[in-house]
């Protein structure tokens, strides 16, 4: 018998519950698990802990009228990030208790595997650098669709982290269940604490992004980055690589990110609207970054593909001359992430390499759109347009950088007459492999 579910102003029939994944994110369906109230909050019983459900966050951006859900959700990111960070950043009143099941699952593992798909995998690529640099844990990032079929002998007893916006993504859920079948500890990062992944994993770290209606991921992605950063801090503390004072200092830096985005959004949006006429007829766009910023290059390229139907690829900046440079022309511009943390010698070294590549491409006649740190007077000299990113530490700047790239994808989509909230051939949650 088909399920029937009513929602204000509509009735939805379906043959299987999985088709209601978007409604499940809205809290319309209850999971087949016992629930109760704790401190007036609904909770679910997971494998290892009792957690509040992530109900939609009240976001002040909703008081403004936006023409599309994607644009509203881009502007909601400061509030979504603030809600997520407050829940997890070191120094909070209950963050240590919140993270204890995750530390129990992963803290003593010699290696970690991150399994995810799409934007969530790009968050995992950035998380790989965060976890290795801050916590000293070697990390492998797998396509969830491939992990299930990999040899069981590839890594000895790793901890497994799965990342999914809906918590119902078919191949990522299959990867979680395969890890559990191998007897491995698992942690799920989702935007739905009542999802299958959140309730089946050894521990759950839900994001607090609230409802995300547009198919292209925006605030769910940046909140995933925030959770991964706090995960790296808590594991660094557990493994003795960071003092409590240092962890709390990183937490304060993270808490400053939402305000930086809030302040920069209007100028980013205005500048990007001026840039897009030069890009809408491009044959392809190449996004370049180094270190954790390569993950953001990949995410920027994916956003453009799915939103504006333009071919785009993300590469490590050092790979451009190993083949992709053959594509570069006035009709195939470069989007180059050239931010730098002046207090980090490794970050500055990466920056110098990107800057030299930018000079080489300028001599070659390439069209360059650059992201640079505020106060940088070198990058604007070698780029056609430069978007400035507020100064932050190298890893946290990834959260800042992706927002103008989201705006670029959105603006190009609208200019090309595309329904940005519902791109063709795509769904919000891929519930069938």
**What is the per-residue pLDDT across 178-217, written as a single tens digit (0 to 9) for each?**
999 999 999 999 999 999 999 999 999 999 999 999 999 9
215 and 270 housed in the same domain = no
Q: Which of 226, 255, 284 is the last residue of a domain?
A: 255
* Confidence tier at 96 by pLDDT (50, 70, 90): confident
The tokens describing 166, both together, are 């809906």
Is residue 141 a part of any domain in this protein? yes
* Of 223, 255, 287, the domain-final residue: 255
Per-residue confidence (pLDDT) for residue 44, from 0 to 100: 32
Predicted pLDDT of residue 152: 63
Q: Are residues 81 and 157 in the same domain?
A: yes
- What is the arithmetic mean of pLDDT over 368-375? 98
Taking only Cα atoms into account, the Rg of the chain, rounded to an integer number of angstroms, comes to 21
Cβ-in-10-Å burial (0-12, 13-18, 19+) of 253 comes to middle
Owning domain of residue 28: 3-44
CB atoms within 10 A of CB 140: 16
> According to the model, what pLDDT value does residue 8 have?
35
Task: Measure Cα distances from 388 to 30, 260, 339, 368 in Å.
Answer: 44, 12, 9, 14
Residue 417 CB partners (closer than 8 Å, separation 6+):
none
Whether residue 47 contacts residue 202, with contact meaning beta carbons closer than 8 Å, is answered with: yes
More confident position, 26 or 151:
151
pLDDT in tens, 325-335: 999 999 999 99
Domain termination residue (choose one: 196, 230, 255): 255
| Interatomic CA distance for residues 203 and 2, integer angstroms | 33
- Count Cβ atoms below 10 Å from residue 53 Cβ, excluding itself: 17
Q: Give the model confidence (pLDDT) of 397-433 as tens digits.
A: 999 999 999 999 999 999 999 999 999 998 887 877 6
Q: Is 15 exposed, middle or buried (0-12, 13-18, 19+ CB in 10 A)?
A: exposed
428 in a domain, yes or no? no
25 in the same domain as 96 = no
* Domain annotation covers residue 90: yes
Tell me how many domains the chain contains. 3
Is the domain of 168 the same as that of 38?
no
Q: How far apart are CA 167 and CA 199, in angstroms?
A: 9
Residue 193 shares a structural domain with residue 69: yes
Q: Is residue 392 part of a domain?
A: yes
* 3-state secondary structure (DSSP) of residue 142: strand
Q: Which of 244, 112, 224, 101 is nearest to 164 (CA)?
A: 224
Whether the Cβ atoms of residue 230 and residue 88 lie closer than 8 Å to each other: yes
Tens digit of pLDDT for each residue in 167-187? Answer: 999 999 999 999 999 999 999
Q: What does 179-210 look like in DSSP terms, one character per residue?
A: HHHTT--EEEEES-TTSHHHHHSSEE------
Question: Does residue 433 sit within a domain?
Answer: no
How does residue 56 score in pLDDT terms, banded at 50, 70 and 90?
very low
In this prediction, residue 151 carries a pLDDT of 67
Same domain, residue pair 299 and 217: no
Do residues 146 and 67 share a domain? yes
Q: Does a structural domain hold residue 97?
A: yes
**Residues 279-290: pLDDT tens digits?**
999 999 999 999
For residue 152, tell me if it sits in a domain.
yes
- CATH number at 268 reads 3.40.50.10490
| Other Cβ atoms within 10 Å of 409 Cβ, number | 28
Domain match, 242 and 298 both: no
pLDDT at 219: 98
Whether residues 411 and 309 share a domain: the answer is yes
- pLDDT at site 360: 97
Asked, for residue 12, whether it belongs to a domain, the answer is yes
Q: Are residues 170 and 269 in the same domain?
A: no
Note whether 245 and 295 are same-domain residues: no
Same domain, 194 and 150: yes
């Amino acid at each position: 018998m088909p399920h029937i579910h009513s929602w204000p102003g509509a009735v939805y029939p379906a043959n299987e519950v999985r088709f209601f994944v978007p409604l499940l994110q809205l809290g319309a369906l209850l999971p087949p698990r016992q629930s109760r109230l704790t401190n007036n909050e609904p909770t679910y019983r997971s494998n290892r802990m009792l957690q509040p459900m992530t109900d939609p966050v009240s976001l002040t951006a909703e008081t403004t009228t936006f023409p599309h859900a994607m644009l509203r959700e881009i502007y909601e990111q400061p509030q979504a990030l603030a809600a997520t960070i407050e829940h997890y950043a070191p120094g909070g009143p209950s963050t240590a208790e919140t993270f204890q099941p995750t530390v129990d699952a992963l803290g003593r593992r010699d290696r970690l595997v991150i399994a995810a798909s799409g934007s969530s995998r790009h968050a995992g690529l950035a998380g790989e650098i965060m976890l290795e640099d801050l916590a000293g844990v070697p990390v492998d990032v797998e396509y969830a669709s491939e992990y299930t079929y990999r040899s069981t002998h590839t890594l000895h007893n790793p901890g497994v982290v799965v990342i999914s916006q809906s918590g119902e993504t078919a191949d990522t859920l299959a990867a979680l269940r395969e890890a559990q079948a191998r007897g491995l500890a698992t942690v799920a990062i989702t935007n739905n604490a009542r999802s299958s992944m959140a309730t089946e994993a050894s521990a759950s770290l839900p994001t607090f992004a609230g409802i995300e209606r547009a198919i292209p991921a925006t605030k769910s992605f940046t909140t995933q980055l925030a959770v991964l950063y706090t995960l790296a801090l808590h594991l660094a503390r557990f493994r003795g690589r960071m003092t409590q004072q240092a962890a709390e200092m990183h937490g304060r830096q993270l808490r400053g990110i939402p305000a930086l985005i809030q302040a920069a959004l209007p100028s980013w949006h205005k500048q990007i609207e001026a840039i897009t006429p030069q890009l809408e007829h491009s044959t392809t766009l190449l996004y370049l970054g180094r270190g954790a910023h390569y993950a953001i290059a990949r995410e920027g390229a994916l956003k453009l593909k799915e939103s504006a139907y333009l071919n785009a690829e993300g590469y490590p900046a050092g790979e451009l001359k190993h083949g992709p440079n053959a594509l570069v022309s006035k009709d195939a511009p470069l989007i180059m992430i050239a931010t730098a943390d002046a207090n980090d010698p490794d970050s500055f070294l990466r920056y110098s390499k990107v800057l030299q590549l930018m000079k080489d491409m300028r001599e070659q006649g390439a069209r360059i759109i650059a992201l640079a740190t505020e106060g940088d007077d070198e990058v604007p000299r070698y780029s056609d347009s430069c978007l400035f990113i507020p100064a932050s530490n190298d890893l946290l700047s990834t959260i800042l950088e992706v927002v103008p790239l989201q705006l670029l994808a959105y603006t190009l989509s609208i200019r090309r007459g595309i329904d940005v909230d519902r791109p063709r051939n795509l769904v919000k949650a891929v519930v069938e492999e």
